[in-house]
Amino acid sequence: MILFFYNLALLAALVVGAPWWLWKMATTRKYREGLLERLGWMRASLGDLGQKHPLIWIHAVSVGEVLAVSRLAGELDRAFPGRRLVVSTTTRTGQDLARDRFGANRVFYCPLDLPWAVRAYLNALQPSLFILAETEFWPNLLSACFRRGIPVAVVNARVSDRSWPRYRRLRWLWRPFLSRLSRILAQSEIDAERLKAIGCQPKHVAVVGNLKFDVRAVEEAEAMRLLRLLGSGQRLIVAGSTLEGEESALLEAWPRILEADPKLGLVLAPRHPERFGAVAALLEKSGIPWVRRSDWNSQPASTIQPLKPGTVVLLDTIGELASVYSLAAIAFVGGSLIPAGGHNPLEPAQFGVPIVMGPYYANFRAIVDDLRAQDALRIATEEDLAATLIDLLRDSAAAKAMGKRARQVFDQQAGATARCVEALQALLAEGDRAL
């Protein structure tokens, strides 16, 4: 009955919102990209793969989830050599990164949660296991898997502080779906308790840790090599995953920060590609010397001008930030100066880089709390951001020790991937015995 009313509401929303969606598709590329796949038209090669091999389907919404499952996907490939792994995403940036990480031949856009679109993919792929990253719950997709007897597992499962009140209010809606999940592998005890409270069966919930502690940047991005070459050894502040309002705050503080270290450089990496142009305009207006990372693509490395002290590099590429963090004297992790929940501080932590974040980090509260408990991360408001960065720049010994502690926290929390693989192996073994 709940599914009936959900689909009725979904249909009403599609009809009412059709003019807006049509306008967005006509004017914005990201709304057009992958539209046919989202509506259920699958590439023939994917369908052939589903007919020839038992499949494991992983769904990772965007860049953060793709990064989180990247090592897990490799371990599942090794653990199940007789099965093929396919990966779906929701966003264009997630799609681009997944294609780079896993190969375009097994990556696709997840179908919209429409009965016919979901049915088309399940008919063709016939997965033996469906894995969701974090909490991407879609009623039609889940229900279709349950009807076909496809076990559904959730990895890196969490319920953020921001989402918790909404899930709790609507637990009557979620319980019929969540109670039928086969495995829920939670990041923390708090997440596990919240998931059980909104309908997951306690016997199917386990705390395995955060997959993001196992992600290692194993390849040097081209941006990293170029920055090392062009920077002539100058120290860098790398500001990653920034959102609107944060770039302007950093640029406003930049002259004061440069007074503390006139040979410093700044790397700005906006979170969303569609904002690259807006940030470029902001830099142009600021009068601060700056360069686009993407402009280096068309030039031989030997002809690119070295970076002058005080220059800002706009990192307007996808998939290079994690590697670039390794060059940072200090990392600022964005989405945290404004109430957006913050982004992942583990990317710089793995390189032993001292980390600064704003006060809004609800999306990564457990990780930030672990780092803060070890004095491996500083919190700064917009008003004291410059002072916090200057303090770390001037006390290099304290900054180095802080980065070392961040790396220790990162290493101590590792192991979630192995625990996930073990749990998924047991789940598939149960299914095989039931056949």
CA-CA distance, 96 to 85, in Å (whole number)?
17
Residue 280 tokens read as: 């470029």
The type of residue at 106 is: R
Cα–Cα distances in angstroms (integers) from residue 417 to residues 36, 75, 104, in the given order? 33, 8, 23
Is residue 88 within 8 A of residue 108, CB to CB? The reply is yes
Closest alpha carbon to 145 in 5, 337, 3: 3
Tokens found for residue 382: 């917009």
Spot the catalytic one: 65, 247, 320, 347: 65
Backbone φ, ψ for residue 427 (5° rounding)? -65, -45
Query: Where do the H-state alpha helices sit in 138-295?
Result: 139-147, 164-169, 171-178, 189-197, 222-230, 246-260, 276-286
Cα(90)–Cα(210) distance, integer angstroms: 21
Burial of 134 (0-12, 13-18, 19+ CB in 10 A): buried
DSSP state of 266: E
Is 236 in contact with 365 (CB distance < 8 Å)? no
54 in Cβ contact with 84 (< 8 Å): yes
- Residue from 141, 130, 147, 113 nearest 182 by CA: 130
Tokens of 361: 């980090």
Q: Cα separation of 176 and 164, whole Å? A: 18
Structure letter (DSSP) for residue 299: S
- Based on the residue annotation, tell me whether 65 is a catalytic residue of this protein: yes
Catalytically annotated residues: 65
